Amino acid sequence: MSVLQTVGLFVLTALAEIVGCYIPYLWLRQGLSAWWLPLGAASLVLFAWLLSLHPSAAGRVYAAYGGVYITVALGWLWAVDGIRPSPWDVLGVAVSLSGMAIIMFAPRAA
């Protein structure tokens, strides 16, 4: 799997998780109809399935996924919640993506 494919799969995975968690949040905090909850559950099932598509060891994938999740969550904060990330948020994203890249793409012995 190429670097671009890996990162793209991580981004799709993060979006599925965020949607799956955001819908119940809207239901609990903002009165969204409970009819939306099955969509949230389906999104979390999609999240788990997408996570299983990564060819690397599960623990490594989960660790690296965290960096991409942070990035996508802050993008969601800006795009959906209308809150622009601070320079400290951007620095945190850079650090987390650096960690993700080291975990996923470092050379390994066969």
Per-residue pLDDT, averaged over 12-16, amounts to 94
Q: pTM value?
A: 0.82
Domain regions of the chain by residue span = 3-105
Residues 19-31: tens digit of each pLDDT: 999 999 999 999 9
In a 10 Å sphere around its CB, with 0-12 CB exposed, 13-18 middle and 19+ buried, how is residue 84 labelled? exposed
Count CB atoms within 10 A of the CB of residue 53: 12
